[in-house]
Structure 1
């Protein structure tokens, strides 16, 4: 689905990759509704959009609240009269702690945002999207959704659930005008730790590691390009592409490779 002239809702639109998705969509002529729980971040996104000459509609919503998400869908549709697409970008990681030491409060928080938030937004907008001549749902999973990462076991489980949720939805909507894409970003140069409520930023530890990080603007370009070309799977970053191939070739070896790379990061 070409995004020019379309109305697209982006969750997590106040920061990082979500913010860049908003700007890239606007630059391609889309009408955008940015959603985030962080009001100040949304205001900053809107101010930057206005400075660039774009008009952006924003809604402050906690996507873990199902009633608020249902109200969001009603308000978003009422604002422009219709919505053509949603990008479920909002997500958080867990502390780098083994499952045995991770508290249920943290487990539930990650599951509520990553899985239920994506589910609530999808379910709330889907009946309307099915009435449109063409529409698109993009759900952001992670390379951690197909490859186990020690210290991010619950995060990975939620992203694996998003992967299967999206793939199942794609099969269910095969004979409709609604296309579905699942995205597997690798390491993106964003402050996902800070935005997840964790105390430390995910700064690269070496120049080589920094070189492997994908810029949020580049990630947004890849994702929107995949959306416009109705791609079923969208891999973002050389690391995601490599590990997708490696894991399909030899899952046990790929898991051991990542476990070795993560040594020292997990408490």
Structure 2
């Protein structure tokens, strides 16, 4: 689906990859409804949009709040007249600890935002997307959604659920006007990666493997939008995601052991 003149909803649009997706969509001539829990972050996105901000509307809400999400389509349609696509990008990561040390409050937060937030958005907007001549749903999973990362087990479980939900949805929508893409980003230079401690650990143990090069979120956004415009079934973002996808397909246990070795320094702390 070509994005020019389309109306796209982006969750997590206040920072990181979500912000870059918003800005890139606007530069392609799309209109964007940016959603985020952080009002100040959305205001900054509007400032960065500059002259393109005339085609940008912001909505401050928590996607884990089902009632708020269910009310969102009418708000967006009231502003833009229709909706042609959604990009479910918003997500949170767990504290970097083993499952035995992870409290249920953290578990609930990760599952509620990453899985149920994506589900609520998809369910709320799908009837409106089916009414369009063409439409698109893009769900952001993670490299951790197909490859186990110790210390991020629940985060990975939530993103694996997003993967399977998206792939199932794609099958269900065959023969309709709605296309579906699942995205697997690798390491990116965003707050979610830095705050997790994952990147620091990989760099500390880089002597055992090629160093991980973080992909800029602006470049990641361009890769994702290219995938949407070409109606790709799945998009691997970054050389690390492509490499680990290939290794995991060939030898899952070896790939899991490789990641464990990379994470062991942080997990032992």
TM-score, normalised to structure 2, is 0.93
Match of 2:180, SS state, is strand
Looking at structure 2, the residues matched to 161 and 256 of structure 1 have their Cα atoms a distance apart, in angstroms, of 22
1:218-252 CA distance string (max 9 Å, x none): 00000000000000000000000000000000001
Deviation at 1:56, TM superposition (A): 1.3
Looking at structure 2, the residues matched to 132 and 5 of structure 1 have their Cα atoms a distance apart, in angstroms, of 13
Looking at structure 1, the residues matched to 107 and 59 of structure 2 have their Cα atoms a distance apart, in angstroms, of 26
- Segments of structure 2 that go 5 or more residues without pairing to the other structure are none
**Aligned equivalent of 1:133:** 133
Deviation at 1:71, TM superposition (A): 1.0
Match of 2:86, SS state, is strand
- Segments of structure 1 that go 5 or more residues without pairing to the other structure are none
**Aligned equivalent of 2:192:** 192
Greater mean deviation of Cα atoms: 68-77 or 234-243: 68-77
Match of 1:179, SS state, is strand
Q: How does 1:23-172 map to 2 (within 5 A)?
A: 23-50=23-50, 55-172=55-172
Q: Residue 261 in 1 paired to residue 262 in 2?
A: yes
Q: CA RMSD in A?
A: 1.9
**Aligned equivalent of 1:249:** 250
1:168-206 CA distance string (max 9 Å, x none): 000000010000000000000011167xxx697955746
Match of 2:258, SS state, is helix
Looking at structure 1, the residues matched to 54 and 214 of structure 2 have their Cα atoms a distance apart, in angstroms, of 29
TM-score, normalised to structure 1, is 0.94
1:40-92 CA distance string (max 9 Å, x none): 00000011112566531100010000000011111011211100000000001
Looking at structure 2, the residues matched to 60 and 210 of structure 1 have their Cα atoms a distance apart, in angstroms, of 38
**Aligned equivalent of 1:183:** 183
Looking at structure 2, the residues matched to 199 and 187 of structure 1 have their Cα atoms a distance apart, in angstroms, of 11
Residues 50, 56 of structure 1: 8 Å contact kept? no
**Aligned equivalent of 2:219:** 218
Residues 11, 89 of structure 1: 8 Å contact kept? yes
Looking at structure 1, the residues matched to 45 and 211 of structure 2 have their Cα atoms a distance apart, in angstroms, of 25
May I ask how many residue pairs the two structures share in their alignment? 264
